[in-house]
Chain A
């Protein structure tokens, strides 16, 4: 069981900054995120887009902001459970919580801070009859272990970076790789597009465009799909295969958190914004885009503020007997759990003669 002071659900900018504010109070944090990397939407949806309203940054790329936050919280040694979704929560008799992920990893903490943004990112599934029946029987929406496709016949559908990158990678692993996309144009990075072109010319990737999979078939497992070219049934191609991997991006869903007994309004968690962003369950806080209160704005900078106040309240909850006064980092410096220490240089006192 993983033990920490504040368990943060969601490793987006708000969750990451909470680690820093908690660290200043000597509280340790662990983060859970359904995505395989930290950064939330910034890393997953728009890493190369600029943000203009982070105080003190006239312009910063979303991916760069995440990298900066990771650097800022490094001294506080946060733990991460990535690629897993927080599934259940249990309140123990002593008022602490155990949060279990979909893969059964348990996390124990006196305070839980939900910084889940719009929810956990779930793959978008194409609308094909019977598709769900073949899940784990030849159909997968994300690739965790490419080795399982060694010497197999694989068909990937999609036109973005992940469809291109996996087609390239699997071309060196699988027996056959077919890439199906609704248009001739792909949306990925230029070098990925060129690489697919090269592999196609070499006969390593079979490209079918503009086309889409219209039917899946198989007895006990997936055995073939029907690919329709130019929206014309006359041009249908039956592709026999072992695996069909539709990669149509991810969409956020609030998911299991909505069953935790929290007050939900408009797909967001109601919190007390007059004090500390605590939910209706004492000890569970909600910060950033996932919460709602009168006048709520879903802005990163608001998430930073909410994370800061949440940490002060969490400190009181964890150490009810201690008195504490907030200290400026310029005055107190930043002392990491890793032994590092950052502080303002001492002023030079020197007489002028």
Chain B
């Protein structure tokens, strides 16, 4: 088991330090749901297809993340509250190199 530590700020501003498995084929959106850091039905609405932006988050650390796919780029261009550091949580796979990653969930829209 290779767990990493990730810091997630929920939509109320509360910071949660959580342990994330890197061997379960999980992504950041699923991690938020697994720890129930956002109400069900308000995150991961499309199930992780980069088609709803309900898992938008702001990346607060300088980790090297995978490049945005065309689909993610397009979805973010239509989402609200988008900033330079916005990403879709469902497109960020939990990998050992993300140890120490810190993100904040974007507001619900």
Q: List 8 tightest A-B contacts by C-beta distance, closest first.
A: A267-B41, A187-B74, A266-B40, A183-B77, A182-B77, A267-B40, A118-B41, A248-B78
- Interface presence of B109 (CB below 8 A): yes
> CA A258 – CA B51 in complex, angstroms?
25
From 248 to 280 in chain A, residues with beta carbon under 8 angstroms from any chain B beta carbon are 248-249, 251-252, 254, 266-268
Instruction: Select the stretch in A7-15, A119-127, A309-317 that faces chain B.
Output: A119-127
> Residue on B with the closest CB to A252?
B45
- Interface presence of B60 (CB below 8 A): no
Chain B: interface residue count, which band? Answer: 20 to 34
Knowing A267-B39, A268-B41, the reply to whether A182 touches B49 (Cβ < 8 A) is: no
B81 surroundings in chain A (CB, below 8 A) = 127
> Residue on B with the closest CB to A289?
B41
> Residue on A with the closest CB to B75?
A187
- Interface presence of B52 (CB below 8 A): yes
Contact among B42, B71, B78 with A249 in the assembled complex (CB-CB below 8 Å): B78
- Interface presence of B35 (CB below 8 A): no
Residues of A within 8 A of B (CB): 41, 45-46, 49, 118-119, 124, 126-127, 158-160, 181-183, 185, 187, 248-249, 251-252, 254, 266-268
CB<8 Å pairs between A and B, sample of 28: A45-B49, A46-B49, A119-B41, A124-B80, A124-B109, A127-B109, A159-B74, A159-B77, A159-B78, A160-B78, A181-B77, A182-B78, A183-B73, A183-B74, A183-B77, A185-B70, A185-B73, A185-B77, A187-B71, A251-B45, A251-B109, A252-B41, A252-B45, A266-B39, A267-B40, A267-B41, A268-B40, A268-B41
A183 surroundings in chain B (CB, below 8 A) = 73-74, 77
B73 surroundings in chain A (CB, below 8 A) = 183, 185
Asked whether B46 lies within 8 Å of A45 as measured between CB atoms, the reply is yes
Asked whether A127 lies within 8 Å of B39 as measured between CB atoms, the reply is no
- Interface presence of B54 (CB below 8 A): yes
Asked whether B80 lies within 8 Å of A45 as measured between CB atoms, the reply is no
A271 → B minimal CB distance (Å): 15
Contact code string B50-80 (vs A, CB < 8 Å = 1, else 0): 0110100000000000000011011101101
> Residue on A with the closest CB to B71?
A187
B88 → A minimal CB distance (Å): 14
> Residue on A with the closest CB to B54?
A251
A126 surroundings in chain B (CB, below 8 A) = 80
> Residue on A with the closest CB to B41?
A267
Asked whether A118 lies within 8 Å of B49 as measured between CB atoms, the reply is no
Asked whether A267 lies within 8 Å of B49 as measured between CB atoms, the reply is no
B78 → A minimal CB distance (Å): 5
> CA A247 – CA B13 in complex, angstroms?
30
> Residue on B with the closest CB to A124?
B109
Contact among A118, A158, A268 with B78 in the assembled complex (CB-CB below 8 Å): A158
> CA A183 – CA B40 in complex, angstroms?
31
> CA A249 – CA B74 in complex, angstroms?
12
Asked whether A45 lies within 8 Å of B40 as measured between CB atoms, the reply is no
> CA A136 – CA B75 in complex, angstroms?
27
Knowing A45-B52, A182-B78, A187-B74, the reply to whether A254 touches B41 (Cβ < 8 A) is: yes
> Residue on A with the closest CB to B109?
A124
> Residue on B with the closest CB to A183?
B77
A267 surroundings in chain B (CB, below 8 A) = 39-42
Asked whether A251 lies within 8 Å of B41 as measured between CB atoms, the reply is no
B52 surroundings in chain A (CB, below 8 A) = 45, 249, 251
Contact among B39, B40, B41, B51 with A46 in the assembled complex (CB-CB below 8 Å): B51
> CA A158 – CA B74 in complex, angstroms?
11
Contact code string B1-40 (vs A, CB < 8 Å = 1, else 0): 0000000000000000000000000000000000000011
> CA A183 – CA B70 in complex, angstroms?
12
B75 surroundings in chain A (CB, below 8 A) = 187
A245 → B minimal CB distance (Å): 14
> CA A192 – CA B5 in complex, angstroms?
45
A158 → B minimal CB distance (Å): 6
> CA A158 – CA B49 in complex, angstroms?
19
> CA A182 – CA B86 in complex, angstroms?
15
> CA A46 – CA B109 in complex, angstroms?
20
A135 → B minimal CB distance (Å): 17
